[in-house]
């Protein structure tokens, strides 16, 4: 007999089954990758400089861990540099974007004032912000942090506004009926009710920031995982390139799991929706 969850519309799959189903496409991808890249380098459809085999990528790990660059930095030092940049850029974006999003979601006048700028920023190609931030802040560390914060912020603002807009009007009418002032409604009703959705928006934005990390680090090479990728590319060490890409993906995935776990802790009543 086929279990009910197989055909349940928008239903939840049992955790163990879900884990297995999630691993199947990854295993299939690795299997196809291994089949395409098997054999001697000269016999492959794709050469090792274009697509190294899974074993070649794994073998490059020990070499990457023990090798130091010209500044004496190892792989773990580069990981820390990238984590610090992403973290600082994200915190800077939150300090500006979250209050702005709450303000625009709460007051129609604030939305009318800022909406043209927010809407226009959504059409800006993120890559064009690299030379712009370089002209503003030079080539130092602050340029990378500001660039990442702008990438975070452009993605996050509409999500915060939407989270505040999604608060049912019944909460506002009830608060006004009980005699709450306008700012009490915002601080004690709008923000607390919207907070789970704001948290989820922050989680999505944090993942997006990792997609722009290499762009931030490859232009001016001062360490970081993007620096490692570009250096390996110029030296035709394709195994290292793929390995660092996997490392970035793994870090972002672990960070997403942490975001989800914290959401379950802070908002247990919303577990079924995250």
Higher pLDDT, 47 or 253: 253
Q: Taking Cα atoms as reference points, which of 61, 175, 97 lies closest to residue 52?
A: 61
pLDDT recorded at residue 65? 80
When mean pLDDT is compared across 46-50, 67-71, 143-147, the lowest value belongs to 67-71
Q: What is the pLDDT of residues 195-213, one digit of tens each?
A: 999 999 999 999 888 888 8
For the chain, the three-class secondary structure string (H helix, E strand, C coil) is: CCCHHHCCCCCCCCHHHHHHHHHHHHHHHHHHHHHHCCCCHHHCCCCCCCCCCHHHHHHHHHHHHHCCCCCCCCHHHHHHHHHHHHHHHHHHHHHHHHHHHHHHHHCHHHHHHHHHHHHHHCCCCHHHHHHHHHHHHCCCHHHHHHHHHHHHHHHHHHHHHHHHHCCCHHHHHHHHHCCCCHHHHHHHHHHHHHHHHHHHHHHHHHHHHHHCHHHHHHCCCCCCHHHHHHHHHHCCCHHHHHHHHHHHHHHHHHHHHHHHHHHHHHCHHHHHHC
The number of angstroms, rounded, from the C-alpha of 236 to the middle of its chain's C-alpha atoms is 28
Share of the chain above pLDDT 90, in %: 24
pLDDT value of position 98:
93
pLDDT, tens digit, for every residue of 111-156? 899 989 888 888 888 888 888 888 888 888 898 999 999 999 999 9
Average pLDDT of the chain to the nearest whole number: 84
Place of tokens 């602050």: 142
pLDDT at residue 103 in the model: 92
pLDDT at 15: 66
Enumerate domains of the chain plus CATH numbers: 69-273 (1.10.3720.10)
Is the pLDDT reported for residue 160 higher than 50? yes
The confidence band for 224, taking pLDDT boundaries of 50, 70 and 90, is: confident
CA pair distance 236, 234, nearest whole angstrom: 6
- Residue 4: pLDDT band (50, 70, 90) is low
Confidence class for position 274, pLDDT limits 50, 70, 90 = very low
Give the per-residue pLDDT at 2: 64
Instruction: Name the nearest CA neighbour of 191 among 58, 66, 99.
Output: 99
Dist. CA 101–CA 242, nearest whole Å: 37
- Tens digit of pLDDT for each residue in 253-271? 899 999 999 998 888 877 6
Q: How far apart are CA 173 and CA 274, in angstroms?
A: 27
According to the model, what pLDDT value does residue 8 have? 65
pTM for this one?
0.83
């Amino acid at each position: 007999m086929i279990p009910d969850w197989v055909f349940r519309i928008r239903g939840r799959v049992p955790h163990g089954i879900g884990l297995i189903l999630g691993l199947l496409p990854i295993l299939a991808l690795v299997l196809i990758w291994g089949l395409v890249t098997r054999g001697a380098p000269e016999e492959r459809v794709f050469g090792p400089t274009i697509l190294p085999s899974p074993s070649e990528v794994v073998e490059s790990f020990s070499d990457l861990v023990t090798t130091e660059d010209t500044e004496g930095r190892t792989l773990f030092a580069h990981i820390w540099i990238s984590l610090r940049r992403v973290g600082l850029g994200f915190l800077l974006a939150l300090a500006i974007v979250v209050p702005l999003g709450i303000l625009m979601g709460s007051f129609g006048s604030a939305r009318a004032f800022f909406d043209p700028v927010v809407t226009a920023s959504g059409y800006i190609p993120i890559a064009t912000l690299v030379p712009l931030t370089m002209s503003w802040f030079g080539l130092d560390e602050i340029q990378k942090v500001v660039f990442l914060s702008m990438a975070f912020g452009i993605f996050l603002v509409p999500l915060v506004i939407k989270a505040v807009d999604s608060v049912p009007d019944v909460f506002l009418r009830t608060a006004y009926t009980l005699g709450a002032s306008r700012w009490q409604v915002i601080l004690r009703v709008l923000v607390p009710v919207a907070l789970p959705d704001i948290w989820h928006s922050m989680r999505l934005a944090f993942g997006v920031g990792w997609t722009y990390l290499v762009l931030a680090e490859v232009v001016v090479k001062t360490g970081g995982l993007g620096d490692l990728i570009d250096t390996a590319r110029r030296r035709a060490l394709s195994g290292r390139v793929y390995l660092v890409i996997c490392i970035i993906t793994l870090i972002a995935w672990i960070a997403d799991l942490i975001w989800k776990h914290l959401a379950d802790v802070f908002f247990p009543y919303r577990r079924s929706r995250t």
